[in-house]
Amino acid sequence: MSKKIVLAYSGGLDTSIIIPWLKENYGYEVIAMAADVGQGEELEPLREKAIKTGASKIYIEDVKEEFVTDFIFPTLKAGAIYEQKYLLGTSFARPLIAKRLVEIARQEGAEAISHGATGKGNDQVRFELTVKALAPDLKIIAPWREWNIRSREDAMDYAEARGIPVPVTKKRPYSMDRNLWHLSHEGGDLENPWNEPLEDLLMIITPPEKAPDKPTYIEIDFEKGIPVAINGEAQKPLDLVLYLNEVAAANGVGIADMVENRLVGMKSRGVYETPGGTVLYNAHRELEYLCLDRQTLHFKEIVAAKYAELVYDGVWYAPIREALDGFVDKTQEFVTGTVRMKLYKGNCTPAGTRSPYSLYNEEFVTFGEDQVYNQKDAEGFINLFGLPLKVRALMMHGKNKK
C-alpha cells in the first residue's frame, strides 16, 4: 500500500501539476484538500479536476464562517494592517487551511502534507509554521523547492505535456489568490513597479472613475470591536462581510497597490482588492478614536503593527499572538457604537460616529463658554511638563557663558 500525502489544492497552475509530480517522484497516494474560504465559482470544477489529474480523493471543506469569526475579526479588532496598506487577506487564510490539512492528514493516516507555495514567497512559511505548531511529526514536501521547474512558463509547459488544463495563460500570467476577504494580483507586468495596473486587472472592484456619481452612506454597528449590524439590521458575520464587499466594490472602494517587504527578504509588488475589509477597518478605527483613551489608543497602534507582522509572517499559532489577543480584547470592552461611512468613487470616509461609551465630552472641548474647565490650570501643567526643557536650557546657557 502506498503512503499518503495531503495536498493543499486550489486547482490553480501550481497545485494542478503537483499531483502528478508527487506521484511520479515520491510514489505517494495524493489526497487533495481544497478549503472553501470564499473563492466562489473557482471550487465548482475542482472535484472532477483533482481526480482526473491523479488524486485518489478530494476534500472540499467549507471553512468560511470559521475564517470570518476566528481569523478575520480578531485581526480587525487588533487594527492590524501590514505596512499600512495590506489587510492580510492571504496571510490569515493560510494558517486556517494548514490547520484543516493537518486534521485531514490525521483522519487519513497520511505521513506528509504538501503545498504549492514557491520558495520565494511568504506562503511556504505560513503553511509550514502551522504544521510545525500543530503536528511536528508530519513531513512537509514543497515541490517548488525541489523540482526543476523555474518559472510559470515552465509549469504551463509541464501541465500541457500531461494534458492538464490550467486557468492561467501566457497572456494573463498573474498569480492570484481569492477568498471572501480579498483578491490579490502579483506577477506579469506588475513586477515592474513603474507600470500602472492594466485596466482589466480588477476583477471585483469597479474602477473608481466608473463608480456611481452619487455617494453611498452605510451605518455599521459594533459590539466590543466586532461588527454586528448594517443600517440597523443585525447580520451574521459571514453575511455582513459579503454584503459590505458588494456595496464597497460597487463604489470603487478597497484597492491597494503596494510594494511590500516579504518575510524572505525581497520586495514584491502586489495589487489587492479588499472592498468590505477596507470599510470595516476604517469604521472600526473611527469608533476607537471615540472610545479609547490616549494612552491605550497609542499603545494599541504599536500592538497593531506587531500583530500585523506576526500574521503576515504566519506566526498565528504562537503564544505571542494569543497574548496580544488578550490585550486587544481588553481594549475592545467599550468599543461599541455606530459608525456612518461615506463611500464615493474609491474613497471611504467617516460621516458620523456615536457610542454610549464615548469619551468625547462637548462640554470640555467647546470653544464657547463652559463651567467645567479652568484655563488657568494649563499654566501649571505647562510649567511642570516643560521643566526638563527649562532645566536643560539653563544648564546650556551656563556652559555657554563659561
The residues annotated as belonging to the active site are 14, 94, 123, 175
Q: How far apart are CA 8 and CA 114, in angstroms?
A: 6
Report CA-CA distances (Å) from 168 to 12, 149, 183, 252, 359.
8, 16, 16, 26, 52
Residue 336 in marked binding region: no
Between strands 226-230 and 233-234, the pairing is antiparallel
Residue 282 in marked binding region: no
Q: How far apart are CA 389 and CA 397, in angstroms?
A: 12
Residue 89 in marked binding region: no
Report CA-CA distances (Å) from 382 to 375, 385, 389.
12, 5, 11
Residue 10 in marked binding region: yes
Q: For the chain, give the number of residues.
A: 402
Q: How far apart are CA 160 and CA 169, in angstroms?
A: 11
| End-to-end CA, the chain | 91
Residue 358 in marked binding region: no
Residue 91 in marked binding region: yes
Alpha helices in 261-293 (DSSP H): 275-291
Closest by CA position to 94, among listed 252, 316, 298: 316
Long-range contacts formed by 147-153: CB under 8 A, 24+ apart:
147/21, 147/25, 149/17, 152/13, 152/187
Residue 80 in marked binding region: no
Residue 12 in marked binding region: yes
Q: In 3-state terms, what secondary structure has residue 81?
A: coil
Residue 26 in marked binding region: no
Between strands 183-186 and 216-223, the pairing is unpaired
Q: How far apart are CA 291 and CA 353, in angstroms?
A: 10
Calculate ∠ Cα 43-47-48, nearest 5°: 120
Residue 56 in marked binding region: no
Residue 13 in marked binding region: yes
Q: What is the DSSP string of 134-183?
A: H-TTSEEE-GGGTSS--SHHHHHHHHHHTT---S-BTTB--EEEE-SS-E
Q: What is the DSSP string of 285-299?
A: HHHHHHHS-HHHHHH
Residue 16 in marked binding region: yes
- Numbered residues of the known binding site for ATP: 8-16, 35, 116
- Numbered residues of the known binding site for L-aspartate: 118, 122-123
- Numbered residues of the known binding site for L-citrulline: 86, 91, 122, 126, 175, 184, 260, 272
- Numbered residues of the known binding site: 8-16, 35, 86, 91, 116, 118, 122-123, 126, 175, 184, 260, 272
